[in-house]
Amino acid sequence: MKSKVNLSSNVLQMKFMKRTAVEKQEELALEEQKHQIDNEHWYLDVDTEKKVATSGCSVIVEPSYTVFDGIGFGRMSFNGFNPQVEKIMKQINGEVEEKDDKEEKEIDDEEMAEHYSSSLGNTIGKKLGKRFFKMPQQPKAKRLAT
Amino acid sequence: MLESIVALPGDEIEIRRKEGKELVIGPGLRKDNQNTIVSMKCGLLKKKENFFWLESHQKRYVPSRNEYVIGIAVTKSAETIKIDIGSSEYASLSFLAFENATKRNKPNVEIGDLLYCRVLTGNKDMEPELVCIDAAGKASGLGVLKDGFMFKINLELARRLLSGSNQFLRELSKNIPPFEITIGMNGRIWIKTSSCKQTIFLFQAINQYSNVSESDTENFIKNLLKDYSDWE
């Protein structure tokens, strides 16, 4: 469908265009009215008194048994047959095992501090020392020339 | 706990409720136009706080949202797989509803495969829709179930085995070799063990369990284990 060519508001303001302007306004009003009727069409006139009477007690209808019987996830594995499923089971049952921090650490904090206090001088110290006494590199240009 | 009330279809159920507290009614119960609650099935009326529902014997699965089910792939098309979940209609599962699936990278699902999936839409007027991912896009246990053995039980038993308070499988597993089990809300159970003997044992144990009450569970397990040691 071709879209209607609209005249600009400036043109419609001119004296000789008055008739068209009025026509256009009427058309718009008519369209709006039609639209309103369309919307109203879908609303049902409900008897308000009746509505109040029925909402005295609220009843919720639940079609599924899951809510009532505390029915859980149906996939289960026992004695480590499928570790993946057992992990999911634990997650769903909320049995989140707290990881023991102490057992996971293989090296003690103190041990580590001691180790580094003695070895730092040998490792990183050596590295730094080397850099200080490094011979300056030969200029690049010279190397390219040869 | 309420003493068990037997309800027949059409029975009016009177529930005295506290003001201001919502009442939640579950499967088997329906609210009437006259604001009374009517049962739709025959079964036992159960109560937990302000939750009321009917526990009834049933074999036909009616899908509802957020339930986990075991399905069988029936037909494959370009974008979806039709899955038999035991409901009145086949459910559809999009190829994109798998972990790491894209338009180019489709998951490898063959016809006849077993899938553990979640029901996304379970509406009585619409085809059920399944997904194999959680809200975060992770598979987390959903997807194709490889190998193993599947059998059917009634829905009541499936729910019983799945309920958080039930200790049957947990207690049983303490005395037998490792195994894996998946229970669908649609009454399908898939088990995977390392020996044929154990599969048969579990199959029989679960089937017999439907006639055992909660209080007898402990004795039942003892008897089962006695039998199991005789098999060896």
Domain boundaries, chain B: 5-55, 68-145, 149-231
Q: Would you say domain B149-231 falls under CATH 3.30.420.40? A: no
Q: What is the pLDDT of residue A98?
A: 45
**Between the CA of residue B204 and those of A94, B219, B232, what are the distances in Å?**
31, 16, 16
Tokens of A26: 């009427």
For residue B20, the distance in angstroms to the closest alpha carbon of chain A comes to 8
> Helix B217-231 and helix B196-209: axis angle, to 10°?
150
List the one residue out of B97, B111, B115, B134 whose CA is nearest residue B188.
Answer: B115
More confident: A95 or B147: B147
Q: What is the pLDDT of residue A34?
A: 84
When pLDDT is averaged across residues B147-151 and rounded to a whole number, the result is 94
Check whether A49 has a pLDDT greater than 60. no
Chain A residue with minimum CA distance to B37? A59
Check whether A107 has a pLDDT greater than 50. yes
Q: What is the pLDDT of residue B196?
A: 92
Check whether A95 has a pLDDT greater than 90. no
List the one residue out of B134, B159, B16, B161 whose CA is nearest residue A68.
Answer: B159
Q: What is the pLDDT of residues B70-103, one digit of tens each?
A: 999 999 998 999 999 999 999 999 999 999 899 8
Average pLDDT taken over every residue of chain B:
89
Strands in B99-221 per DSSP E? 114-121, 129-131, 143-145, 149-152, 179-183, 188-193
Q: Is A78 in Cβ contact with B182 (below 8 Å)?
A: no
Residues of B within 8 A of A76 (CB-CB) are: 169, 180-183
Check whether B204 has a pLDDT greater than 50. yes
Tell me how many degrees the CA angle A138-A140-A142 measures, rounded to the nearest 5. 80
Chain A residue with minimum CA distance to B181? A76
Q: What is the pLDDT of residue B4?
A: 75
Q: What is the pLDDT of residues B45-66, one digit of tens each?
A: 888 878 888 888 989 999 998 8
Q: Kindly report which listed range (A21-25, A55-59, B7-11, B140-144) carries the lowest average pLDDT score.
A: A55-59
When pLDDT is averaged across residues B170-199 and rounded to a whole number, the result is 93
Question: Residue A93 — pLDDT band, cuts 50, 70, 90?
Answer: confident
Check whether A96 has a pLDDT greater than 50. no
- Residue B38 CB neighbours (<10 A): 16
Compare CB distances from B26 to A65, A74, A77 and report the shortest one's residue. Answer: A65
Q: What is the pLDDT of residues A59-74, one digit of tens each?
A: 888 888 888 777 878 8
At residue A5, the 3 state secondary structure works out as coil
Q: Is A65 in Cβ contact with B53 (below 8 Å)?
A: yes
Which of A52, A73, A85, A90 should one mutate to test binding to chain B, selecting the residue with the greatest count of B CBs within 10 A? Answer: A73
B96: Cα separation from own chain's centroid: 24
Q: Which residue matches tokens 């059917």?
A: B152
Q: What is the pLDDT of residue A99?
A: 44
Q: Kindly report which listed range (A65-74, A135-144, B24-33, B204-213) carries the lowest average pLDDT score.
A: A135-144
Average pLDDT taken over every residue of chain A:
73
* B30: β partners: B38
At residue B82, the 3 state secondary structure works out as strand
Check whether A97 has a pLDDT greater than 50. no
Question: Residue A129 — pLDDT band, cuts 50, 70, 90?
Answer: low
Q: What is the pLDDT of residue B120?
A: 93
Q: What is the pLDDT of residues B97-138, one digit of tens each?
A: 999 899 899 999 999 999 999 999 988 899 999 999 988 888
Check whether B179 has a pLDDT greater than 90. yes
Q: Which CATH architecture has domain B5-55?
A: Beta Barrel (2.40)
Chain B residue with minimum CA distance to A71? B163
Q: Residues 161..190 of B with a Cβ closer than 8 Å to A: which?
A: 162-165, 169-170, 173, 177-185
B91: Cα separation from own chain's centroid: 16
Compare CB distances from B162 to A57, A61, A71 and report the shortest one's residue. Answer: A71
Q: What is the pLDDT of residue B190?
A: 96
What single-letter amino acid sits at B126? M
Q: What is the pLDDT of residue B154?
A: 93
B122 vs A: CB within 8 A: yes
When pLDDT is averaged across residues B150-154 and rounded to a whole number, the result is 94
* B75: β partners: B82
DSSP string, B9-43: TT-EE-----TT--EEE-TTEEE-TTS-EEE-S-E
Fold classification of B68-145 is OB fold (Dihydrolipoamide Acetyltransferase, E2P) (2.40.50)
Q: What is the pLDDT of residue B60?
A: 92
Tokens of B186: 């649609």
B85 vs A: CB within 8 A: no
A52 vs B: CB within 8 A: no
Task: Indicate if B149-231 has the same CATH topology as B68-145.
Answer: no
